[in-house]
Homo-oligomer: A and B are copies of this chain.
Amino acid sequence: MRPPPQSPSPAPSTTAPTAAAGGATDGPVAATVRTLARDLAAVPPGSVVRLQGWVHRRRELANVTFLVLRDRTGLAQVVVRAGAGVGPGEPQGSPRVAAQVPPEETTVDVTGTVTANPQAPGGVELTEPVITPLTDAAETPPVELWRPALAVALPTLLDHAAVAWRHPAQKARWEVAATSLGGFRATLDAAGFTEICTPKLVGTATESGANVFPVDYFGRPAYLAQSPQFYKQQMVGVFERVYEVGPVFRAEPHDTVRHLAEYRSLDVELGFVRDHRDVLAVLRDVLAGMADAVRGSGAAERLGVEVPEVPAAFPVIHFADALALVGAPADEPDLAPEHERALGQWAMAEHGSDFVAVEGYPMAKRPFYTHPETGARAAAGDGRWSNSFDLLFRGLELVTGGQRLHRYPDYVAAIEARGEDPAAYASYLAAFRHGMPPHGGFAIGLERWVARLVGAANVREVTPFPRDLHRLVP
């Protein structure tokens, strides 16, 4: 018995639907490959093409109905006049045109003739269409997707995510996120970084000790990883330069516009650095790569938002100087949101930069693996400052990073100084006992980057299925 091998089939985007997909296959329809809305303007008028997509808008006039079809690349106008055939087996010449155009959001297959019309989007429209629904008539959507702006309250957007994200403007927001991920990886791949995948289920809550989600792991306690920090450092010992894009989990008890219980962290770590300034130089290249990718995708243009110019080097201000600049007391341990906003304004006014790096954050506010300050000001700081930084983007903290400790005895001392037992960190510390280079890294929050870029006030507006104190569905 020898079943024949699968005959090579054309790619799905260029094939006609069969009865299996609910469509018609008879006649010239089956011979027509799919054309995407974006490509319609380049098709010679008079050609017969096939479109597939959603009924974005149905507009009925006396003797004509306009069907605006939406596919993944854009919109296309279809003109249905009395007499057009609708559906397989539907008699030509039916007068009831409007009733034969399926309701909005129904998926359809449309073949028709490309006809020039300067009034139509892209200068062309489809005439003499044959419209075949690919499924049942769609129910009226909970939001009006065909309006130019999606004017809905946040809870409506979130509750109806599966449908509301079909709106072209909302879709473009995610395209900003997706293309940013592409730019992130492309920049790092070109610089000799290796992508890693580290576990999200961990056995101890040692990294910060608080705000972790407990998991019932085969009857034993486990936790969701708050970051890949320990693992990406260990992998510097293997690959020197690593990155990971993955979910991180924070049981944040506050309900703010910039925190989520689960978000996407873009993590980078690299070895053989001099100090945190080398890390900052890589961060600069990464953000430039992300901005370029967004610019190239056209999504920002469709949204009418400006992609920042990433300067050749970020302006850098020391934490102590930053406090003085914003008029805060010299013993403040952290920057408040209004301080960050003031620093963002300063960076734009003084350096024409959407970005500013604040270096030298107090050791007391940084994790135990943070490297103390080593620069010219180190002696004056008396161990108070660190080789770590925050990067502010338009006055909001976007990235935290810095140099880490790399000497084993330094780790033992730092952990003991917290009153903890280094034995609890044995597998992590093994990397340092057996030789690690000076290294550092950073983590970018994807949702914050996108929100700031598109001007969304709340990270939930750019996250299809956000998780927070109150929201676990959809």
Contacts and interface: CB of A to CB of B under 8 A. Distances in A.
A21 B273 contact: yes
Contacts of A92: none
A314 B189 CA distance: 31
Nearest to A230: B474
Contacts of A469: 218
A339 interface: no
A328 interface: no
A430 B247 contact: no
A419 to B, nearest CB: 22
Given A218-B251, A234-B161, A71 B20 contact: no
A201 interface: yes
Contacts of A163: 237, 430-431, 434
B1 A431 contact: no
Interface string A92-112: 000000000000011100000
Contact of A8 (B54, B222, B312): B312
Contact of A213 (B19, B217, B321): B217
Contact of A178 (B55, B71, B195, B264): B195
A246 B249 contact: no
Residues of A in contact with B, size category:
35 or more
Contacts of A430: 142, 160, 162-163, 474
A261 B218 CA distance: 10
B436 A135 contact: yes
A112 to B, nearest CB: 17
B178 A194 contact: yes
A273 B14 CA distance: 10
Nearest to A429: B162
A401 to B, nearest CB: 13
A383 interface: no
A361 to B, nearest CB: 15
B262 A54 contact: no
A165 to B, nearest CB: 5
Nearest to A52: B272
B434 A138 contact: yes
A257 B435 CA distance: 32
Interface string A347-362: 0001101000100000
A285 to B, nearest CB: 8
Interface stretch (A76-84, A276-284, A302-310, A453-461): A276-284
B261 A12 contact: no
B438 A261 contact: no
7 contacts: A10-B281, A19-B374, A20-B374, A21-B272, A107-B435, A171-B238, A213-B215
Report the 3 A-B pairs with minimum CB-CB distance, sorted nearest first.
A427-B474, A138-B435, A105-B435
Interface of A: 1-3, 5-13, 15-22, 34, 52, 54-55, 71-73, 105-107, 134-136, 138-139, 141-142, 159-163, 165-166, 171, 174-175, 177-178, 181-182, 185, 189, 191-192, 194-204, 213-218, 220, 222, 224, 231, 234-235, 237-241, 246-247, 249, 251, 253, 261-262, 264, 270-275, 277-282, 285, 311-318, 321, 324-325, 350-351, 353, 357, 374-375, 387, 403, 406-409, 427-428, 430-431, 433-438, 446, 464-465, 467, 469, 472-474
